[in-house]
Structure 1
């Protein structure tokens, strides 16, 4: 499956983390022309005031000035190494330490300062689409990993079905596959649920007979 590249950014919202005295007019002007609104989070005691829980990956883009040091603290996904929204690094001093810091924040594109209007669209295109591509790849890898783990459940379920029915391996597998299709579930998930149900202890609530006598409450003979 090929990722549908995003080319129109109208309706987006850019959060630009920069010192107010160093706003890049070309950046804001170009973003506005592209239909992207521009907002400047306040910086208090060296930290940008951003509500990360309210960010939306399909709308928001973070522009972070690498010269501000640790102004932004993003919780990057440890597995995908991606931030919650696309991050574009604004680069003034091209020191390896500052570039590394932006990469660690999950930046998927960079924009050189002072910003030239002609470079904004390219940076935006690369940053957002690389973010979407890496997100999709991570989801696919996670899905494949889950199914790989589920294969163990399939093997166990096949062996159990062979014991219960006397079918050979192919017959037991085919039977389980038909059942999973009827349940509209992946075979791996169906087998996991099947094994889980078999592993549950029997329900004793319907057992007939009086409850066991407790010490001190023996019946009189």
Structure 2
């Protein structure tokens, strides 16, 4: 994943979790001018009637009114601390508890009440691009961790190849690399699979095994 600054939001969809009032007209009108469709999911018994699962981060943005108590539940990724889609908090009462609740939903930008048209683009720009930036940083960390584990496997496989076939370090590494290319696998993945095969105990069910006794003699078992 590569972060790319997004400046045009045409074709996006905003789902506004808020009780309908005159304030939403400014938000809806401004979003429409930016090419963003606006929807207001129904709120029944204090909960927004919306399914988060099918939402797409490439299209959908959630605007959540912080003055509503637990109107929506969002599973934030424990590692990246990101919600499934960008979240922009609509702030009325600036109480620490309500701001914290929006942060716990993964909000990356805020829009103050009453909503002014000139503030909508800034909130949209910051909310979406901060979401993309954090997602990109998390993806890079995962990639680095994967490479770190993979390099460890390459080192172990090289050492074992040197021991098994009496090769020097360069020759063992080259052989591993050639074999991974022949199998059209990354070197790291090939070495991980090779180590996994080497770790399996040999099948000794049909042959006699022996152990070394003191003095170097072997006894069949």
The residue aligned with 2:79 is 79
2:80–2:135: 8 Å Cα contact kept in structure 1? yes
The total of aligned residue pairs comes to 207
Q: Give 3-state SS (helix, strand or coil) of 1:57's partner.
A: coil
Q: Distance in 2 between matches of 1:3 and 1:69?
A: 34
The residue aligned with 1:168 is 168
Residues 86-101 of structure 1: pairs in structure 2 closer than 5 A: 86-101=86-101
Q: Distance in 2 between matches of 1:35 and 1:188?
A: 45
Moved more, 139-148 or 163-172: 163-172
TM-score by length of 2: 0.86
2:23–2:114: 8 Å Cα contact kept in structure 1? no
The residue aligned with 2:125 is 125
Pair 1:153-2:188 in alignment: no
TM-score by length of 1: 0.86
The residue aligned with 1:51 is 51
Q: Distance in 1 between matches of 2:22 and 2:106?
A: 23
Q: Distance in 2 between matches of 1:49 and 1:16?
A: 11
2:16–2:63: 8 Å Cα contact kept in structure 1? yes
Q: Distance in 2 between matches of 1:133 and 1:182?
A: 37
Q: Distance in 2 between matches of 1:106 and 1:22?
A: 26
CA shift for structure 1 position 203: 7.1
2:23–2:115: 8 Å Cα contact kept in structure 1? no
The residue aligned with 2:38 is 38
The residue aligned with 2:139 is 139
Moved more, 193-202 or 7-16: 193-202
The residue aligned with 1:190 is 190
Moved more, 179-188 or 31-40: 179-188
The residue aligned with 2:62 is 62
CA shift for structure 1 position 2: 6.8
Question: Pairwise CA RMSD of aligned residues?
Answer: 2.1
Residues 175-214 of structure 1: pairs in structure 2 closer than 5 A: 175-200=175-200
Q: Distance in 1 between matches of 2:22 and 2:76?
A: 27
CA shift for structure 1 position 20: 1.7
